[in-house]
Chains A and B, each alone.
Chain A
Amino acid sequence: MNRNHKGAFYFPLFRLLAMLRGGNAIRSESNAVEAWLVGLMSYLIHYLFFAALLLPGNITVWRGALLLVALAFWIWLFWLLLLYFNSLIIRLLHLCGFFRAIPNRRLQSALWGILTTAMAWILLDGSPALREVGAIWLVAAAMNLAAAMILIFSNGARVAGK
């Protein structure tokens, strides 16, 4: 508990940048900026995906606004269901002998990332604004994958406290 990795990062891109600046590439979940940034960004992707999917085009402004508010809560419930469904997949993988040494929350993170990236990909078919949001996520995901590869080859992929 008294270990303090404040300022360390979880995502490979930030860790690589920290390493290039002479800092520590250790993986840590203690960065508030990352937590808020990635949390809100993935919420936005999910929200826009379902808004584009579920909201009909010919709708009154008030009805549309009401549905958008309701959608905010629907995304929350969707997240709870998604996390539970992912936990079942992880349990199945563990039963088959896969990834037993990796903490559940990291496997959840991988599944979460795959699904959110798929949603961002679908957003590319939407309006210019949706395309832009989707593209930002996809570029960030690609850069993180590349950073992860660099960290693996540079032996920088260490985990804090594990």
Chain B
Amino acid sequence: MNSSGNWTSRFAVRGVFWREYLDWAAINLPFYTYPVLHFFMTLFFFFFAAPARRILLAHLAIILPGSSGALNYLRVFRIFHNYAWTISEAAIQKLNKEEFAYEIIGGKWLDQLGAAPGAIVLTAHMGNYDLGAALFAEKFNRAIRVVRAPEPDRQTEQHLSASLEKSGEGAIKVDYNTAGALLSFDLLNALRRGEIVSIQGDRTEGDLVATPAQLFGRNVRLPDGPFVLAQVAQVPLYPLFIARSGYRSYQIVVREPITVLRSGRDRELDLAPAVANWCRVLEQMIAERWDQWFAFAPGFLADEQKS
């Protein structure tokens, strides 16, 4: 992780400068300048964020087998463009408290989640997951603990945490998923107190404990934390995704909750069906909404071996 002392890291692709610019833009820009500015900003990052571009190209080749390489460049542009809209609309919601339209798919499971005495929301780097946490806290008037993958830049990480906590008006607490047992105990206690914990379950980074899984016919490693937590705390996992469906409008997609067995036998055997279930849901969501899967970090789908 970059330290805050490195001045040039502020301007790196994932540096804090762009996040601060986004906040400034949300306050200062007339709404009708966004379409043009987003187009050019996307073009800028399409050329300068080459590692992310290559990762997305590799992902698309797996998600859409047989797709044309040239067309995949345009698809990557579309993903970058969607990301620009998504993060800017999250900033607008946070700073201007503007109105957003949303549609709920799987309403009965969302109501179940809202009333659950402790549950885990299993989500992915898809659509507007930050906006989703704020929306959940507001809709159900409940506190939520959001566990995020660490950012490569410390200042960006601090900025994102502050933003998310601000948008939730005190109902959101952000934790970063780093190696170590302290956070696990903290989250377990939160679940036992009846809180909701939201975890991104589509990639693992660094030294985190991972579980083997299958996605798009590939052997991948997914974080096993959410599954172990669900097993120990005996709470269900609710797959939940916030997908952008148009200008300032979103779809909240909730899938059937996943339960983790606790038979007292081998833990891996108990976790395996739940992990397979999650993979099936995740694979379906990514296949449907590949243009909103913002998996820019290395070390996931494209790096793993074909089974």
**Residues of A participating in the B interface, judged by any CB pair closer than 8 Å:** 1-6, 10, 28-32, 34-40, 42-43, 73, 76, 79-80, 83, 86-87, 90, 103-106, 108-109, 112, 160-161
Complex contacts, A73 vs chain B, CB 8 Å: 40
Complex contacts, B134 vs chain A, CB 8 Å: 1
The reply to whether B34 and A3 form a contact with Cβ atoms under 8 Å apart is no
Q: Smallest Cβ distance from B215 to chain A, in angstroms?
A: 32
CB nearest to A3 among chain B residues: B99
The reply to whether B96 and A108 form a contact with Cβ atoms under 8 Å apart is no
Complex contacts, B29 vs chain A, CB 8 Å: 83, 105, 108
Complex contacts, B71 vs chain A, CB 8 Å: none
Can you list 15 A-B pairs with a CB-CB distance of less than 8 A? A6-B249, A30-B101, A32-B246, A32-B248, A36-B35, A39-B36, A40-B36, A79-B37, A104-B27, A105-B29, A105-B31, A108-B28, A108-B29, A108-B30, A161-B99
Partner of A87, one of B28, B97, B246: B28
The reply to whether B101 and A4 form a contact with Cβ atoms under 8 Å apart is yes
The reply to whether B102 and A2 form a contact with Cβ atoms under 8 Å apart is yes
The reply to whether A29 and B31 form a contact with Cβ atoms under 8 Å apart is yes
Complex contacts, B31 vs chain A, CB 8 Å: 10, 29, 35, 105
The reply to whether B32 and A34 form a contact with Cβ atoms under 8 Å apart is yes
Report if A32-B247 is in contact (Cβ < 8 Å); known contacts: A1-B134, A79-B37, A105-B27.
Answer: yes
The reply to whether A76 and B37 form a contact with Cβ atoms under 8 Å apart is yes
The reply to whether B99 and A28 form a contact with Cβ atoms under 8 Å apart is yes
- Docked CA distance A36–B36 (Å): 8
Complex contacts, A43 vs chain B, CB 8 Å: 36
- Proximity bits, B29-67, A CB within 8 Å = 1, else 0: 111111111001000000000000000000000000000
- Proximity bits, B254-274, A CB within 8 Å = 1, else 0: 000000000000000000000
Complex contacts, B101 vs chain A, CB 8 Å: 4, 6, 30
Complex contacts, B37 vs chain A, CB 8 Å: 76, 79-80
**Residues of B participating in the A interface, judged by any CB pair closer than 8 Å:** 24-25, 27-37, 40, 93, 96-102, 131, 134-135, 138-139, 246-249
Complex contacts, A108 vs chain B, CB 8 Å: 28-30
Complex contacts, B131 vs chain A, CB 8 Å: 1
- Docked CA distance A2–B250 (Å): 11
Q: Smallest Cβ distance from B246 to chain A, in angstroms?
A: 6
The reply to whether A83 and B28 form a contact with Cβ atoms under 8 Å apart is yes
The reply to whether B248 and A30 form a contact with Cβ atoms under 8 Å apart is yes
The reply to whether A30 and B247 form a contact with Cβ atoms under 8 Å apart is yes
The reply to whether B28 and A105 form a contact with Cβ atoms under 8 Å apart is yes
- Docked CA distance A36–B32 (Å): 6
The reply to whether B32 and A104 form a contact with Cβ atoms under 8 Å apart is no
Q: A40-B36, A109-B30 are in contact. List 4 more A-B contacts (CB 8 A).
A: A30-B101, A40-B35, A79-B33, A79-B36
The reply to whether A1 and B36 form a contact with Cβ atoms under 8 Å apart is no
- Docked CA distance A80–B98 (Å): 23
CB nearest to A8 among chain B residues: B99
